[in-house]
Amino acid sequence: MHQQDLIYLSDLSWDQMQELEAIWYGAPASRRVQLIKQLQKLANDDVQYNFKRIFLFALEDHHPAVRKVAVEGLWEEDSPFILEKLEGILLNDSSLEVRVSAAGVLSNYAYKSAVGELDDEHASRLQEVLQEVVQQADDGSELQRKALEALAFFEEDPIADDYIERLYWEGGYEEQASALIAMGRSMNTKWSSTIIKELGNPHPKLRKEAARAAGEMALRESVPDLIRLTQEDTDKEAIHAAIWALGQIGTPQAKRMLRHIANSSNKDLQSAAEEALDEAMYSGDI
């Protein structure tokens, strides 16, 4: 469908939704997936468009690929009704991939709980659901890892703590990457030395996640290592993560490095450093 046609699908009335439902399965699953992805992109590009009703309807689609992209389309939503729908999908959907996507989207709600934007009743239920999934999923599975990354937002959660330890010490690099993400989100300073150590890991994905974790926790003591990453690392994602982290930390030393990068000849890094400097004005030292 052309963009102009997609626009007409925004904010459909219930009568219009019934018309859509009547013809929904007339299109193959691949076409339904494509439609949901197009609507996601349009909504991301322009906040005036709202396709929530279509995404909610597509959560009940017979095909898991459609349900998966419908779940991902609800990333920006924050209503308790959608939270409960996603919790049900995480616990009960027949597709592992759909459940993994639900765990990823629920991390947004877990973050809202961490910053006081989710009421206690719904926060408590979400924490219980995530704990259940972390404990019951196969060890090291993507489902367990995504659920743990979300659960880590709940301060001093003992189950999150336990599984961070297990994934970090017993898993491969994918498990260790998730453990680092969870460490940063937990804001628990007991992980500080581990995060800083991993800034020197030979694997670029682990350096990237360690840099982001250092930024999440605003670890001032990580600034020299983050600066080293911006100067010496050869992995683009790790460099960008280090630049972002320097902006989150915002010490005078971090800002000086960001200004240096912003004045460099690398246009891509210039832009990242400028954004990080803007953030540093709010997050760091005056």
Tell me what pLDDT residue 41 has.
95
Tell me what pLDDT residue 2 has.
67
Domain ranges of the chain: 216-286
pTM, whole model, 2 decimals?
Answer: 0.93
Distances (CA, A) of 252 to 227, 230, 276: 12, 16, 13
Q: Measured between alpha carbons, how far is 244 from 247 in angstroms, rounded to an integer?
A: 5
At 171, is the secondary structure helix, strand, or coil? coil
How far from each other are the two terminal CA atoms of the chain, in whole angstroms? 50
Burial class of residue 62 in the structure, from the number of CB atoms within 10 Å of its CB (0-12 exposed, 13-18 middle, 19+ buried) = exposed
Tell me what pLDDT residue 1 has.
63
Regions in the chain scoring below 70 on pLDDT? 1-2, 283-286
Tell me what pLDDT residue 5 has.
80
**Token duo for residue 163:** 């599984």
Distances (CA, A) of 32 to 1, 55, 73, 122, 282: 11, 11, 13, 32, 43
Tell me what pLDDT residue 282 has.
78
Top-tier CATH class for 216-286: mainly alpha
Cβ 263 vs Cβ 251: under 8 Å: no
pLDDT tens digits, residue range 208-239? 999 999 999 999 999 999 999 999 999 999 99
Cβ 208 vs Cβ 238: under 8 Å: yes
Tell me what pLDDT residue 286 has.
44
Tell me what pLDDT residue 284 has.
55
**Token duo for residue 216:** 């999440």
Cβ 258 vs Cβ 273: under 8 Å: yes
Nearest residue to 43 (alpha-carbon basis) of 77, 20, 80: 77
Tell me what pLDDT residue 244 has.
98
Q: Measured between alpha carbons, how far is 211 from 47 in angstroms, rounded to an integer?
A: 31
Please count the other Cβ atoms lying within 10 Å of the Cβ belonging to residue 47: 8
Nearest residue to 85 (alpha-carbon basis) of 112, 67, 97, 62: 67
